[in-house]
């Protein structure tokens, strides 16, 4: 099945996002989590725990008989998926300032699909630009519970005048 294109919210400046505070900004496309993605993350991060990379052992010992994605792999998907949800036309550089209240709610078995649902909490003036706070929910297809939730903080420099 091919997903329909995602409507992209476009705003002029970082501060222009403020009018959307308290609302959902939208959802990204669904992303399939495959074993090559999990193995690549394991190689990159050094986290090669068998629940992620040992397909045979997972078949015997894991609920559902499959390997599962690393929680930090899922968290690392947020910046790329966020770009599918909103765009700031005139802006300076952006810095991922961090995440608060990160919770890994559900295991994500290999072969699952996830997508980002993003709600804007605030776009506040900061001495370096605009501080954007969003609640990021990584939904797990077919599950009532998300894969993860996190408060994302991004600092975007305002465009030069």
Question: What topology does CATH give the domain 9-156?
Answer: Thiol Ester Dehydrase; Chain A (3.10.129)
pLDDT tens series, the chain, 161 aa: 445 455 589 999 999 999 999 999 999 999 999 999 999 999 999 999 999 999 999 999 999 999 999 999 999 999 999 999 999 999 999 999 999 999 999 999 999 999 999 999 999 999 989 999 999 999 999 999 999 999 999 999 988 75
Residues in contact with 153: Cβ distance below 8 Å, sequence separation at least 6, in sequence order: 96, 97, 98, 99, 100, 131, 132, 133
The predicted model scores a pTM of 0.91
Collapsing DSSP to helix, strand or coil, 42 comes out as helix
Domain ranges of the chain: 9-156
């Amino acid at each position: 099945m091919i997903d329909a294109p995602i409507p992209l919210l476009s705003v002029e400046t970082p501060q222009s996002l403020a009018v959307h505070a308290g609302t959902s900004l939208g959802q990204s496309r669904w992303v399939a989590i495959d074993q090559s993605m999990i193995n690549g993350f394991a190689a990159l991060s050094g986290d090669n725990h068998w629940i992620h990379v040992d397909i045979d052992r997972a078949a015997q010992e894991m609920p559902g008989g499959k390997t599962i994605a690393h929680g930090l792999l899922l968290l690392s998907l947020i910046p790329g998926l966020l770009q599918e949800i909103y765009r700031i036309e005139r802006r300076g550089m952006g810095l991922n300032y961090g995440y608060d209240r990160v919770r890994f709610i559900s295991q994500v078995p290999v072969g699952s699909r996830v997508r980002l649902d993003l709600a804007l909490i605030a776009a506040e003036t900061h001495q370096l630009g605009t501080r954007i706070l969003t609640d990021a929910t990584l939904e797990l297809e077919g599950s009532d519970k998300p894969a993860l939730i996190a408060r994302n903080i991004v600092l975007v420099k305002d465009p030069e005048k």
